[in-house]
Amino acid sequence: MTMENRDTIDIGNHSHKHEVEKLLMKLNKPAVKSIKSPDGDTIDCVAILDQPAFDHPKLKNHKIQMRPNFGPQDNKILEESEISSKSKTIHQLWHHSGSCPESTIPIRRTREDDILRAGFIQRFGEKNLKNNFISPSVGAQGHYEYALVFLKGNKYYGAKGTMNVWNPRVQQSQEFSLSAIRILNDADSENLEIIEAGWQVNPELYGDTNTRLYTFWTSDSNENTGCYDLLCSGFVQVNAEVALGSSIKPLSIYNDINSQYQITITIWKDRGSGDWWMLLGSDKLIGYWPSTLFSSLSDSVTVIEWGGEVLNSEANGQHSTTQMGSGHFPGEEYGKASYFKDIKFVNGNNQMLTADNVVSYVDRSNCYNVLQPAFSDNAWGSHFYFGGPGRNPNCP
């Protein structure tokens, strides 16, 4: 979605049906093959060179990179992970119905209803950060609420973490709940440069309450750039197996230590090209955000965050019942609470190091909170629990 689409047309008005159709044609590229997912999604297998990324004016002559030149030095970032755990990995629902051929990428098809839910073409695919973003790095006020840990104070070149996957209840369609890794440069607090990835439940964006893998980026607090997943040009995908924005299964089960499912995400700066790469698990290179999309982020990030976020849209001082993580407080720990483990960062020497000295940040501890164990062990590394139920007797 380029700038000409980011107008303020009210797409609820039938006279603007043409603008909706125009956007759909721009986002839904011609498919080599289409797959109907059990959850109702349609996954289009699009030729890799026809993907939305290359609509971006800065990527017109971009030469696609199928693999990064470099990973962080000390970890086996492109090899099999050595993390031991009782937890299990997940898959995407559309895999039950087929697969995409080589030299294509899977893209979740955008429907007219998806755009209509946004209310305005300007809002479709965006995350409103200008007035609502809350971060330990900028201290702004708004309706977004966080329970996370963060690193700040140096230049960083990547982050990693493993999070278990849940299906938190979301009270209202315009609210969401997510668990993610976020890297950002806050040199200009009015124009934050952000990359994030994780899982979320977002009814307004996706039209249901499924738990979905997602990505997000912006170079100006989402004022004129960036979006979720592939809903605008920018992110270059190279993987034929993973569809951004697609439902993931199975999900963790409360009070069942043998049914904790997780994903591992690594985002790091390729010292050869300068691009920011994303790895899912130990072997799925998803793609990259070209450095040309950014200004300060083209060099490094100043803040790394791991944890949960919700949008609380309740009025009259009453808190939303939207859950974060498992919907249970972190003190319940393994099998009951949401966690991040093996959290790491990439330093200026391109080394992947354990993030031991993180600081917690919580907006309303009676609604959502963070529990940081006072130790790191060999299996879990640096880790923490987070989340909560939202509204409860102590969080009215």
Which are the catalytic amino acids?
196, 309
Helix (H, G, I), strand (E, B), or coil: what is residue 368? coil
DSSP secondary structure letter of residue 219: S
Q: How many CB atoms lie within 10 A of CB 177?
A: 29
CB atoms within 10 A of CB 357: 9
CB-neighbour burial class of residue 43 (10 A; exposed 0-12, middle 13-18, buried 19+): buried
What is the spatial distance between Cα 374 and Cα 368, in angstroms, rounded to a whole number?
20
Q: For residues 317 and 313, what is the distance between their CA atoms, to the nearest angstrom?
A: 10
Q: How far apart are CA 119 and CA 265, in angstroms?
A: 32
Q: What angle do CA 196, 204, 91 make, to 5 degrees?
A: 55
Amino acid at 151: L
Who contacts 94 (Cβ-Cβ below 8 Å, separation ≥6)? 35, 37, 38, 39, 41, 43, 106, 243, 246, 247
d(CA 217, CA 392): 33
